[in-house]
Amino acid sequence: MERSGPPPRLFGLIGWIMVGIVFVGVIVYGLSVYLDWVVLQSMYASKAGLDWFAVNFYHNNTFIVAGVLALLFINPIPRRSHLFEGLSALGGAFARVRGVEESVSLGPGRVVWLFWQVVKWAVAFWMIASANGIPGLGNLTIVITMLQSGLGDWGQILRVFQLPLAPVSGAELVALMPTMEVQYRLIYDIFAAVVFVAVLRLILMLVRDFARLKTNAWTRDLFLILALAVLVAIVGAPYWAMNIATPNNYLIAITVFVGLFSVRSHSTNNRHGAPETMDRIPHGTVLVRHTHCKLGFRRRLLAKLEQQLVRL
pLDDT in 10s for each residue of the chain, 312 residues: 444 444 445 446 777 788 788 889 889 988 998 899 899 999 999 988 889 988 889 989 999 999 999 999 998 888 888 788 877 777 777 777 777 665 655 567 788 888 889 989 999 999 999 999 988 888 999 999 999 999 999 999 999 999 999 888 888 989 999 999 999 999 999 999 999 999 999 998 888 888 877 767 888 889 999 999 999 999 999 999 888 899 999 999 999 999 998 887 776 665 554 443 333 333 333 333 333 444 455 556 556 655 655 555
Taking alpha carbons only, the member of 71, 84, 88, 79 closest to residue 114 is 79
What is the predicted pLDDT for the residue at 215? Answer: 65
Look at residues 252, 265, 251 and name the one whose alpha carbon lies nearest to residue 223.
Answer: 265
pTM (two decimals): 0.73
The C-alpha torsion from 83 through 87 and 89 to 94, rounded to 10°, is 170
Q: E-strand spans in 175-290?
A: 277-281, 285-289
Distance of CA 45 to the CA centre of its chain: 42
pLDDT at 98: 74
CB-count exposure of residue 221 (10 Å: 0-12, 13-18, 19+): buried
pLDDT at site 102 = 59
Residue 309: the pLDDT is 52
Beta pairing partners, 277: 289
Distance CA 38, CA 40 (A): 6
**C-alpha distances in angstroms, 44 versus 33, 41, 48, 104?**
16, 6, 5, 59
> What is the SS3 assignment for 2?
coil
Q: How many angstroms separate the CA atoms of 248 and 226, rounded?
A: 20
